[in-house]
């Protein structure tokens, strides 16, 4: 993993360059700085990265279908961002900690989050699906950019405790406009926190193009905050893996935060409630489809003498199995008990809430007595907007 | 009269405001090309151009903070906060800056900023998409807080908010966006019911029931249901949460002697608490029973599958009415 004792900092001042190790057509490009960081990735290991990407794409497709079939309330698809998520998350150690937004299903997959754990939130049965401390990944964040501060604080704490674990904060291009992200960058730099800011620039913040958030490559912002910034092909799993390894290595050595801009593309809608045809063109979409993160890995494996067709079949079977598991886990998620609305509001007893809860128990009991169920829907209800 | 959804009537109101005053500018995330996630600003950028209808960078503090500067410059910014739960990043700019500048500048600086907030639950949304943050703002001196409940009001109230020289938090009941109603698109502001005035939407004699936003319809449904039970409920659409039109509520309570207030927001420190206290102070000798609040629980907004156990619905409102009337109810036999 760590190719030499060389100081990694020098490698991470390429904010204008587009670091790429595998081209869209699957050619391996030599890069003297980055190659050593992925020298352990032989064809077997590359096959495993390919497998990860295929599976999370398949899980994503299945979850989208589950939403369309009414089993999930909402789903934010990751399609197109597999390499950015798998490459970065596979660079993490078990004791590192990921702080993500709502789209990082691939990161969750790498952290061992199970199918039901992944879906409870989107099925609307619970506010969170997994125990962050068991998985090494915080509960997903919807408030844009808030998690970047949390990652920074976690990293500050890790450093103060003398640990060499690091945090990764995942956020989008739009998030870089929020105060929280900018404040996180200030804190991380000031306290030399072992944190990696991993920005997936997927070109769009719902309907707003990245150009509305920034007039220059996002990686260049790093310099202003006093940390190295690097711009990497986010559809190139090998380049992302190398860059994240370098950044994590810097963090572990006490060299502080790094900003990575992974240039990628959101192929699908922002969420299943969004209509991207209102704001982007077919031409743009077609261009990005050419740069698909999965096909190029398969082409590279083929060129390296691997039976790529065989691998593709084998992995597809595995992915279908994972998707079937996701589907059955989703449908098996039970509706929560009514009174669980009162659980976990406070860690300590709270008399006010106890009283409110007791009242609601009595209220529900009035229906049992009259043998009538409480009115089904709270409201007349309308369709949710595009979130 | 035209039949419009609430979302479309807001769109019509915004169009009128943009046409009537070139200092009116709309700013928000996704409001331009996309027309807003609820399409409330649909078509307005195409009609008025990108300096009147502005897609902003993804920063709520940025949107409100720059609106302050625009107001200094004589503009009348109309901001969209995409969802209730995303107003908090802008909270400091709203309560520490927007609310106070007129006072701090001894009346020389006007902050005619309208902050549109789709609010409330009942649409099965994800976290942070169903909040009722109105009390934070009603608590802050210098802000006006209003909530519309139907298309006709929405068309007038959004224009009144924009025309007001005070900053206005304008709450839109998102679960009613697609509900249709009659709208008089020729309605003039001069003839309209003032922004701060409540409306008696269902006259009645036994209980005064105050609601705002999405719950006005639920309250009306409750009044219809109660009628079958021989109970006559007077439903008041509060419309203005700060300041409150106490005259209308007082007049009603003096006749009915009973007050029930309902809102989706939690009870503690909510708008209902303020109404209960103020009406008790003003009408104590007319009250036959203590005011009753039927509200959301004091919990974070729950996951979608549980929201029906949080939001006041027709049955919970009727139970509250029974409490106010001393009829059998969920608290019968229990010390209050
Ligand atoms: C504070 C806040 N404001 C607005 C939103 C609504 N919203 C959800 S996602 C989104 C766009 C985010 O874009 P980006 O940061 O690029 O991430 P992406 O969704 O593209 O991964 C917006 C505006 C939100 N969730 N939080």
Any idea what DSSP says for residue A137?
A: B
Q: Rounded to whole angstroms, how far apart are CA atoms B278 and B245?
A: 11
CA of B324 to the centre of ligand 1 (A): 44
Output the ligand 1 site: residues, CB below 6 A.
A 103, 142-144, 171-175, 202, 204-206, 266, 270; B 29, 58, 60, 82, 86, 89
What do you get for the CA distance between the two ends of chain A, in Å?
Answer: 40
* Nearest atom of ligand 1 to the alpha carbon of A175: 15
Residue in chain B closest to A215 (alpha carbons) equals B57
Any idea what DSSP says for residue B95?
A: I
Angle at B40 between CA B37 and CA B45, to 5 degrees: 95
The pair phi, psi for residue B182, each rounded to 5°, is -80, 135
CA of B50 to the centre of ligand 1 (A): 21
Q: What is the pLDDT of residue A199?
A: 98
| pLDDT of residue B95 exceeding 50 | yes
Residue B104 CB neighbour total at 10 angstroms = 12
Q: Rounded to whole angstroms, how far apart are CA atoms B291 and B229?
A: 21
Any idea what DSSP says for residue A240?
A: H
Query: Which residues of chain A have a pLDDT value below 50?
Result: 1, 4, 376-387
CA of A169 to the centre of ligand 1 (A): 15
Rounded to two decimals, the ipTM of the complex is 0.95
Q: Rounded to whole angstroms, how far apart are CA atoms B152 and B180?
A: 10
Q: Which residues fall within 8 angstroms of residue A328, CB to CB, at 6 or more apart?
A: none
Task: Assess whether A265 carries a catalytic annotation.
Answer: no
Across chain B, mean pLDDT equals 97
Q: Identify any residues that bridge with B261 across adjacent strands, giving them in sequence order.
A: B210, B293
HSE toward the beta carbon, residue B278, CA cutoff 13 A: 17
Catalytic: which of A245, A270, A296, A327?
A: A270
Q: Rounded to whole angstroms, how far apart are CA atoms B115 and A350?
A: 35
Which of chain B's residues have a Cβ under 8 Å away from the Cβ of A363?
A: 316, 319, 330
Reading the block at residue A322, the tokens are 């994972």
Cα of B249 vs its chain's centroid, Å: 17
Average of per-residue pLDDT across B87-110: 98
Residue A33 CB neighbour total at 10 angstroms = 15
C-alpha torsion A308→A310→A311→A316, nearest 10:
120
Catalytic: which of A135, A221, A266, A327?
A: A266
Task: Name the strand (E) or helix (H) holding B143.
Answer: none
Q: How far apart, in Å, are the Cα atoms of B105 and each of A199, A374, B71, B94?
A: 42, 53, 13, 16
Tell me if B113 sits within 8 A of B71, measured CB to CB.
yes
Q: Which of A206, A212, A273, A387 to mutate to test the pocket of ligand 1 (most atoms within 8 A of CB)?
A: A206
Q: Rounded to whole angstroms, how far apart are CA atoms A85 and A53?
A: 9
- Radius of gyration from C-alpha coordinates of chain B: 20
Q: Which of B62, B82, B115 to mutate to test the pocket of ligand 1 (most atoms within 8 A of CB)?
A: B82
Which of chain A's residues have a Cβ under 8 Å away from the Cβ of B310?
A: 341, 378
Between chain A and chain B, the number of residue pairs with CB atoms below 8 A apart is 188
Q: How far apart, in Å, are the Cα atoms of B165 and each of B20, B114, B142?
A: 16, 10, 11
Q: Rounded to whole angstroms, how far apart are CA atoms A108 and B310?
A: 30
Any idea what DSSP says for residue B20?
A: H
Tell me if B314 sits within 8 A of A376, measured CB to CB.
no
The answer to whether residue A341 neighbours chain B at the CB level (below 8 Å) is: yes
Average of per-residue pLDDT across B124-134: 97
CB atoms A381 and B124 under 8 Å: yes
| pLDDT of residue B211 exceeding 50 | yes
Q: Rounded to whole angstroms, how far apart are CA atoms B168 and A210?
A: 31
Q: What is the pLDDT of residue A387?
A: 41
What do you get for the CA distance between the two ends of chain B, in Å?
Answer: 48
Q: Rounded to whole angstroms, how far apart are CA atoms B181 and A58?
A: 44
pLDDT digits (tens, 9 = 90+) for B19-43: 999 999 999 999 999 999 999 999 9
User: 């879906």: which residue's tokens?
Assistant: A119
Interface of A with B in 294-333 (CB under 8 A): none
CA of A144 to the centre of ligand 1 (A): 5
List, as own/partner pairs, every contact residues A119-123 make where C-beta atoms lie below 8 angstroms and the sequence separation is at least 24, other chains included: A119/A63, A119/A66, A119/A72, A119/A326, A119/A329, A119/A330, A119/A333, A120/A333, A121/B126, A121/B127, A121/B303, A122/A63, A122/A67, A122/A72, A122/A73, A122/A74, A122/A75, A122/B126, A123/A71, A123/A72, A123/A73, A123/A330, A123/A333, A123/B305
Tell me if B330 sits within 8 A of B315, measured CB to CB.
no
pLDDT digits (tens, 9 = 90+) for B276-333: 999 999 999 999 999 999 999 999 999 999 999 999 999 999 999 999 999 999 999 8
HSE toward the beta carbon, residue B329, CA cutoff 13 A: 21
3-state secondary structure of B23: coil
HSE toward the beta carbon, residue A96, CA cutoff 13 A: 25
Q: What is the pLDDT of residue B14?
A: 98
User: 């007349």: which residue's tokens?
Assistant: A380
pLDDT digits (tens, 9 = 90+) for B5-17: 999 999 999 999 9
Helices within B115-245 (DSSP H only): 134-138, 151-163, 215-228
Indicate which of B57, B94, B295, B307 best probes the interface with A, i.e. most A CBs within 10 Å of its own CB. Answer: B57
CB atoms A175 and B58 under 8 Å: yes
Q: What is the residue-wise DSSP string for A169-234?
A: EEEETGGGGSHHHHHHHHHHHHTT--EEEEEEE-SEETTEEGGGT-SS-GGGHHHHHTS-EEEEET
Helices within chain B (DSSP H only): 6-20, 44-48, 60-72, 91-92, 101-104, 134-138, 151-163, 215-228, 246-256, 271-283, 314-325
Which of chain A's residues have a Cβ under 8 Å away from the Cβ of B311?
A: 378-379
The answer to whether residue A379 neighbours chain B at the CB level (below 8 Å) is: yes
3-state secondary structure of A259: strand
CB atoms A387 and B37 under 8 Å: yes
Buried (b) or exposed (e) across A287-316, using 16+ Cβ within 10 A?
A: ebeebbbbbbbbbbbeeeebebeebbeebe
Q: Rounded to whole angstroms, how far apart are CA atoms B173 and A223?
A: 44
Interface of A with B in 86-115 (CB under 8 A): 102
Q: Rounded to whole angstroms, how far apart are CA atoms A209 and A173?
A: 9
Q: Rounded to whole angstroms, how far apart are CA atoms A33 and A36?
A: 7
Answer whether the bond into residue B106 is a cis peptide, omega within 30°: no
Which of chain B's residues have a Cβ under 8 Å away from the Cβ of A139?
A: none
Average of per-residue pLDDT across B246-255: 98
Task: Assess whether A270 carries a catalytic annotation.
Answer: yes
Q: Rounded to whole angstroms, how far apart are CA atoms A118 and A100?
A: 13
- The share of chain B scoring above pLDDT 90, in percent, equals 99
């Amino acid at each position: 993993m760590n190719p030499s004792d060389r100081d990694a900092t020098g490698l991470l001042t390429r904010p204008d360059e587009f670091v790429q190790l595998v081209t869209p057509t699957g050619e391996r490009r030599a890069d003297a700085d980055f190659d050593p960081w992925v020298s352990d990735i032989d064809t077997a290991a590359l096959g495993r990265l390919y497998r990860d990407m295929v599976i999370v794409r398949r899980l994503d497709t299945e979850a989208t279908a589950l939403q369309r079939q009414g089993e999930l309330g909402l789903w934010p698809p990751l399609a197109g961002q597999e390499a950015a998520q798998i490459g970065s998350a596979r660079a993490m150690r078990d004791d590192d900690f990921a702080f993500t937004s709502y789209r990082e299903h691939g990161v969750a997959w790498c952290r061992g989050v199970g199918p039901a754990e992944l879906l409870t939130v989107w099925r609307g049965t619970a506010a969170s699906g997994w125990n962050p401390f068991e998985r090494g990944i915080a509960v997903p964040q919807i408030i844009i950019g808030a998690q970047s501060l949390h990652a920074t604080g976690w990293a500050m704490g890790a450093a103060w405790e003398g640990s060499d674990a690091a945090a990764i904060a995942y956020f989008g291009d739009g998030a870089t406009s929020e105060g929280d992200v900018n404040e996180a960058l200030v804190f991380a730099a000031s306290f030399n926190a072992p944190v990696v800011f991993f920005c997936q620039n997927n070109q769009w913040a719902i309907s707003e193009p990245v150009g509305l958030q920034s007039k220059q490559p996002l990686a260049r912002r790093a310099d202003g905050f006093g940390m190295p910034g690097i711009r990497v092909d986010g559809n190139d799993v090998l380049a992302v893996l190398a860059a994240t390894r370098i950044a994590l290595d810097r963090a572990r050595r006490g060299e502080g935060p790094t900003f990575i801009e992974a240039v990628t593309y959101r192929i699908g809608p922002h969420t299943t409630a969004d209509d991207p045809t209102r704001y982007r063109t077919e031409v743009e979409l077609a261009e990005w489809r050419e740069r698909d993160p999965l096909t190029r890995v398969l082409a590279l494996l083929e060129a390296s003498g691997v039976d790529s067709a065989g691998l593709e079949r084998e992995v597809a079977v595995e992915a279908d199995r994972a998707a079937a598991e996701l589907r059955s886990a989703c449908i098996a998620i039970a509706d929560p008990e009514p009174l669980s609305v009162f659980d976990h509001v406070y860690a300590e007893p709270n008399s006010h809430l106890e009283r409110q809860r007791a009242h609601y128990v009595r209220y529900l009991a009035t229906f049992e007595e009259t043998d009538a169920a409480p009115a089904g829907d709270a409201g007349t209800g309308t369709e949710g907007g595009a979130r | 009269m035209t039949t419009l959804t609430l979302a479309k009537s807001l769109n019509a109101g915004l169009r009128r405001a943009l046409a009537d005053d070139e200092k009116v500018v709309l700013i928000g995330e996704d409001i331009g090309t996309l027309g807003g996630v609820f399409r409330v600003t649909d078509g307005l950028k195409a009609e008025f151009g990108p300096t009147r209808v502005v897609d902003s960078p993804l920063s709520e503090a940025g949107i409100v903070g720059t609106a302050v500067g625009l107001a200094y410059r004589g503009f009348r910014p109309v901001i969209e906060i995409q969802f209730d739960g995303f107003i908090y990043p802008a909270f400091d700019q709203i309560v520490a800056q927007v609310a106070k500048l007129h006072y701090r500048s001894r009346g020389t600086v006007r902050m005619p900023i309208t902050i549109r907030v789709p609010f409330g639950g009942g649409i099965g949304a994800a976290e942070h998409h169903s909040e009722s943050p109105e009390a934070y703002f009603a608590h802050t001196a210098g802000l006006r807080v209003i909530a519309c409940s139907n298309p006709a009001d929405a068309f007038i109230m959004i224009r009144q908010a924009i025309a007001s020289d005070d900053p206005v938090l304008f709450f839109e009941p998102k679960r009613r966006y697609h509900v249709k109603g009659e709208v008089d698109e020729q309605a003039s502001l001069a003839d309209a019911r003032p922004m701060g005035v409540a409306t008696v939407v269902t006259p009645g004699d036994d209980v005064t029931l105050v609601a705002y936003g999405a719950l006005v319809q639920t309250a009306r449904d409750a009044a219809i249901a109660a009628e079958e039970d021989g109970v006559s409920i007077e439903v008041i659409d509060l419309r203005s949460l700060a300041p409150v039109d106490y005259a209308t509520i007082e007049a009603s309570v003096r006749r009915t002697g009973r007050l029930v207030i309902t809102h989706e927001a939690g009870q503690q420190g909510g708008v209902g608490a303020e109404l209960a206290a103020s009406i008790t102070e003003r009408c104590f000798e007319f009250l036959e029973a203590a005011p009753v609040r039927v509200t959301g629980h004091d919990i974070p907004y729950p996951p979608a599958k549980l929201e029906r156990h949080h939001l006041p619905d027709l049955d919970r409102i009727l139970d509250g009415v029974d409490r106010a009337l001393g009829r059998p109810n969920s608290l019968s036999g229990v010390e209050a």
